[in-house]
Structure 1
Amino acid sequence: MVNEISIGMAKSGRRAWALDDVALVPSRRTRSPRDVSLDWQIDAYTFSMPVIGAPMDSVMSPATAIALGRLGGLGVLNLEGLWTRYENPEPVLEEIAHLQAKEVSPENTRRLQEIYSEPVKAELIKARLAEIREAGVVVSGSLTPQRTQEFYQTVVDAGVDMFVIRGTTVSAEHVAQQGEPLNLKEFIYELDVPVIVGGAAGYTPALHLMRTGAAGVLVGFGGGSATTTRRALGIRIPMATAISDIAAARRDYLDESGGRYVHVIADGGLGSSGDIVKALAMGADAVMLGATLARAEEAPGRGWHWGLEAVHPDFPRGHRTQVGTVAPLEEVLVGPGHHTDGSSNLMGGLRHAMASCGYVDLKSFQRVDVTVTPAAGSF
């Protein structure tokens, strides 16, 4: 049932809910956290946690992608980032960390745009992916839709295991009067690796992305605290509703396709273990983490977080945000934690929530009961 609210005499809209607006309801049965499995499988690859590191320069370097892979997650390298523009990006990362401390700064934005004007180099894409492959973990890289046709063959030739196409909004039907748009269905069909695409925030666009052959769909617009999409573009879909809508698209596509399962991956706005718990409870199969992992001691952002939106040459719409440093990556993800705000031992929080509600695997946890508890000021 879809309930629309009148906005005025000429317009109405759905009431949508953020993750802060929902909460889990424990059942009559509880489990031991030791009995809970966080295993997640997509295509031929199995991970011991449903965590993907966001392809953002403040979050993933080749070293942190390797570290995340060894901990049981999937690290995705931004193939349009500093690691594929500069032979040695460490001095550049150090400079970014020491820009003015304030978030909103035209001077900072101008300097970031200058830094990211350095061209992406195909040989560096190959070198960075080779470095990750040599470590023996799953190799994954990300391009925006605008750069995919230019560099995807380089990525495939380098031996990538999984490919991510990530943008603010990715559609299966992009119409352009100038230039040849990316044909997602044809592109995915020609590849020999699973492709994750997004963002999407509604049932219909997600269903169309699933029909392209994507292995996974990213829910949301990514960027989290580092993006200002709502203020700059007027676009915002609260995550609880978005995940639930796209989980419905997954269900209907499973029936339509005769059994093909497409993974729903929540991307953006997951700042604590509680947010991760609720995203999975609403129907996500996994989560893509940005700011949450940018707080790790090993994160290349050195306590700062930004995305490609912040360096767009014509219409920047993101901030370089100070997120601080919490703990080493291992403690952030698997503990033992020393923080009471859900910023460390994220998987421990998920494991305890699942056990408290009586579930021992991720798929069954999607059936958990939830209640709507609107957060203060959310209306």
Structure 2
Amino acid sequence: MSNEIEIGRGKRGRRAFSFDDIAIVPSRRTRDPQDVSVSWQIDAYHFETPIIAAPMDSVMSPATAIALGKLGGLGVLDLEGLWTRFEDPQPLLDEIARLAPEESTRRMQEIYAEPIKAELIKARLQEVRAAGVTVAGALSPQRTQEFYADVVAAGVDLFVIRGTTVSAEHVSSNAEPLNLKRFIYELDVPVIVGGASTYTAALHLMRTGAAGVLVGFGGGAAHTTRTTLGIHAPMASAVADVAAARRDYLDESGGRYVHVIADGGIGRSGDLVKAVACGADAVMVGAALARADEAPGQGWHWGPEAHHPQLPRGERVQVGTCGSLEEIMFGPGRQSDGTLNLVGALRRAMATTGYSDLKELQRVEVVVSPYQPR
């Protein structure tokens, strides 16, 4: 059955769905919430929750990465952020939180013009390692060639290559592009790479040897990619497409499983549940954790696209604060808007629909039921 819609006589388009467009359906069985498992594992690293913090300065500092690791999640440091450009970025984080909206982009471009320092990359990652939690850092594809040796030397456990979109077939007439397959083969740590938002792009990334693929394209709270570039990938369809690529690659490779990580559009607990239902093994969240009292952004949230020197494709947005990092992860919830107790909500949804672990929840029935806010 075709899912295409005629846009005009000369163009047809496939209908795609966001998390707001779908819902999950209870089955014939229910469970006690304490009897379900929300843990997952990638390579040799096991986590008690499927929550990965996005590598954004408003979300992750070495201190919050350590705190999230001790709560059973994974904090990923942005190795191109303020913490690797300045010895003490706190005054600049304070300044960004006070900026007037009309001057925020220009001033952030000035602040982020400071060069990245290899010695600070090592220092920040070693700080996390000293705390005894899993160490993860992220670079964009453009910076990976330049700094990956420093990342590995610092003792990173998981290496993330994250961009608005990452392909295994980047073409450039100006510079030698990163050969992902060769790079991952030669690297001695698991690599998570993305974003990808289509079946074909994800399948190609899986063939490079990546341990995980990030799914998303400019779908986060701080992105303006749709208005600046006209590009958007509704997350429910994107995750389901990439999960299909994972299934087919599992057959093609003779049993190699690549983890699918939803990255974008997950602002509240219900979005987390629906991401897993569409096939995600874990989720990478930004705004949801930027609301923590301890978050470096102090109630503001922004990504690297917000200070791009030539074409900003994001903005600094006010998300406010709603509780501590522990309360956001495990509650107790003091409001019913899905901002607190993300893990508790996931457990409750799994118990209500009768599934005992995340892999089982990927089989839950999903319906198209667009959300109508009150």
**TM (normalized to structure 2)?**
0.98
Q: 1:3 corresponds to which residue?
A: 3
Q: 1:218 corresponds to which residue?
A: 214
For residues 276 and 231 of structure 1, what CA distance do their matches in structure 2 show?
Answer: 25
String of CA shifts for 1:23-80, please: whole Å, max 9, x gaps. 0110010000010111110000000000100000000000000000000000000000
Q: 2:30 corresponds to which residue?
A: 30
The answer to whether 1:168 aligns with 2:161 is: no
Secondary structure of the residue that 1:225 maps to in structure 2?
A: coil
User: What does 1:113-128 align with in structure 2 at a 5 Å threshold?
Assistant: 113-128=109-124
Displacement of 1:335: 1.3
User: What does 1:313-328 align with in structure 2 at a 5 Å threshold?
Assistant: 313-328=309-324
Work out the percentage of aligned pairs sharing the same amino acid: 72
| Structure 2: stretches of 5+ with no match in the other structure | none
Displacement of 1:313: 0.4
Q: 1:246 corresponds to which residue?
A: 242
For residues 94 and 58 of structure 2, what CA distance do their matches in structure 1 show?
Answer: 11
Q: 1:280 corresponds to which residue?
A: 276
Displacement of 1:3: 1.7
For residues 28 and 51 of structure 2, what CA distance do their matches in structure 1 show?
Answer: 29
Q: 1:48 to 1:293 in 2, by over 3 A?
A: same
For residues 322 and 92 of structure 1, what CA distance do their matches in structure 2 show?
Answer: 17
Secondary structure of the residue that 1:111 maps to in structure 2?
A: helix
For residues 113 and 231 of structure 1, what CA distance do their matches in structure 2 show?
Answer: 20
Q: 2:68 corresponds to which residue?
A: 68
Q: 1:28 to 1:90 in 2, by over 3 A?
A: same
String of CA shifts for 1:298-350, please: whole Å, max 9, x gaps. 00000000000001000011110000001000000011221211100000000
Displacement of 1:221: 2.0
Displacement of 1:269: 1.1
Secondary structure of the residue that 1:224 maps to in structure 2?
A: coil
Tell me if structure 1 keeps the 8 A contact 2:218–2:225. no
Q: 2:125 corresponds to which residue?
A: 129
For residues 299 and 128 of structure 2, what CA distance do their matches in structure 1 show?
Answer: 23
Q: 2:47 corresponds to which residue?
A: 47
For residues 366 and 93 of structure 1, what CA distance do their matches in structure 2 show?
Answer: 39
**What letter matches 1:161 in structure 2?**
D
For residues 327 and 184 of structure 1, what CA distance do their matches in structure 2 show?
Answer: 39
Q: 2:354 corresponds to which residue?
A: 358
**What letter matches 1:29 in structure 2?**
R
Q: 1:334 corresponds to which residue?
A: 330
**What letter matches 1:216 in structure 2?**
G
Displacement of 1:2: 4.0
**What letter matches 2:205 in structure 1?**
L
Tell me if structure 2 keeps the 8 A contact 1:19–1:275. yes
Q: 1:264 corresponds to which residue?
A: 260
Tell me if structure 2 keeps the 8 A contact 1:222–1:267. no
Tell me if structure 1 keeps the 8 A contact 2:219–2:234. no
Q: 1:183 to 1:126 in 2, by over 3 A?
A: same
Runs of 4+ that moved beyond 4 A? none
The answer to whether 1:155 aligns with 2:151 is: yes
For residues 141 and 191 of structure 1, what CA distance do their matches in structure 2 show?
Answer: 14
For residues 221 and 294 of structure 1, what CA distance do their matches in structure 2 show?
Answer: 19
Tell me if structure 2 keeps the 8 A contact 1:223–1:307. no
**What letter matches 1:212 in structure 2?**
T
Secondary structure of the residue that 2:221 maps to in structure 1?
A: helix
**What letter matches 1:91 in structure 2?**
P
Q: 2:18 corresponds to which residue?
A: 18
For residues 45 and 225 of structure 1, what CA distance do their matches in structure 2 show?
Answer: 29
For residues 43 and 309 of structure 2, what CA distance do their matches in structure 1 show?
Answer: 36
The answer to whether 1:94 aligns with 2:94 is: yes
Displacement of 1:170: 0.3
For residues 23 and 338 of structure 2, what CA distance do their matches in structure 1 show?
Answer: 15
| Structure 1: stretches of 5+ with no match in the other structure | none
